Chain A
Amino acid sequence: MNGLFYIASMIAVIATFRAVTGANAVHSLLYLTVSLLASAAIFYSLGAHYIAALEAIIYAGAVMVLFLFVVMMLSYGPGQEAEEKRITRPGTWAGPAVLAGILLFELVYVLIDRELVPENAAAHGPKAVGIALFGPYLIGVELASVLLLVGLLGAYHIGRK
């Protein structure tokens, strides 16, 4: 478990640094996605399996796709074709691909070596999280649902012509 944590931490820091300091928004989004996937690996190594899945699905999946949609919609106009050619060059996606490849190696390694699953995983697995979420934190879940509804309506109202 130790090696998984340290390698994923290094990947997260490197990818976040490249994402924040990048010049091209699409490249930075690639690095940010890798950083969030590394965070998911870190959560897994800390025993939070349910959160690792949520991080990969919601953050690295849904939120990053939303970002990508908006960036793609904003970057229109002349020179778009040259930009496309520049993006599809290997030099631009090689960095995120290498980092993501290391993460994939970690994933396969964990799947093969079952002993890497933390022993105290049952203490705070998905069941414990769900019981806590809908027990003492029920009011928080209600407030979160209201927040999501307000976010939906607000985004619709602002984005409408």
Chain B
Amino acid sequence: MATVPAEYALALAAVLFALGLTGVLVRRNMIYVLMSIEVMLNAAGLAFIAAGYRWAEPDGQVMFVFILTLAAAEVSVALAVIFRFFHRTGTLDLDKVGSLKG
């Protein structure tokens, strides 16, 4: 039974990361930007898993647990900020954030 080459997993991580980066750069809705950041974090975790798979070490999976923790903390705070921003301005447009200024 042949195994999957680690390069393919790394290439998949690169594709997913590029999709997430495109979403961050192109979309102007805050919810979509946050979702794209999640995609990028997940792709970074996939790269760690692929490296751990290549060297048959558990360290990559340990790193993924840390990325998972980071993503959970980041999402909770960011969603609270989005919630407050929407109630204050009535919009989710990222370009309107520049009008906050302190």
The distance from the CB of B59 to the nearest CB of chain A, in whole angstroms, is: 6
Q: Which B1-59 residues sit within 8 Å CB-CB of chain A?
A: 1-4, 8-9, 12, 15-16, 19-20, 22-23, 27, 29, 31-32, 34-36, 38-39, 42, 46, 49-50, 52-53, 56-59
A12-B12, A20-B20, A154-B77 given as contacts; is B83 within 8 A of A59 (CB)? no
Set of chain B residues within 8 Å of A67, measured between Cβ atoms? 31, 34-35, 75, 79
The number of chain B residues with a CB under 8 A from chain A is: 56
C-alpha spacing A148/B65, complex, angstroms: 13
C-alpha spacing A20/B24, complex, angstroms: 9
The number of chain A residues with a CB under 8 A from chain B is: 62
Contact of A63 among B4, B15, B50, B72 (CB under 8 A): B72
Set of chain A residues within 8 Å of B76, measured between Cβ atoms? 66, 151-152, 154-155
A67-B35, A151-B74, A158-B77 given as contacts; is B46 within 8 A of A42 (CB)? yes
Q: Check A140 for interface membership: any CB of B closer than 8 A.
A: yes
The distance from the CB of A152 to the nearest CB of chain B, in whole angstroms, is: 7
**Which label, helix, strand, loop or mixed, suits the secondary structure of the A interface?**
helix
C-alpha spacing A16/B17, complex, angstroms: 10
B residues lining the A interface (CB < 8 Å): 1-4, 8-9, 12, 15-16, 19-20, 22-23, 27, 29, 31-32, 34-36, 38-39, 42, 46, 49-50, 52-53, 56-62, 64-66, 68-77, 79-84, 86, 92
Top 10 A-B residue pairs of the complex, sorted by shortest distance between their CB atoms: A151-B73, A20-B23, A159-B80, A158-B80, A128-B58, A155-B76, A144-B69, A155-B80, A46-B53, A124-B58
* Sample of 6 more A-B contacts, CB < 8 Å, known A51-B64, A137-B62, A154-B77: A16-B39, A28-B35, A45-B4, A48-B61, A132-B58, A132-B61
12 CB contacts below 8 A, A to B, read A2-B2, A5-B8, A20-B39, A32-B39, A35-B39, A45-B4, A48-B53, A54-B64, A59-B38, A70-B82, A128-B58, A154-B80
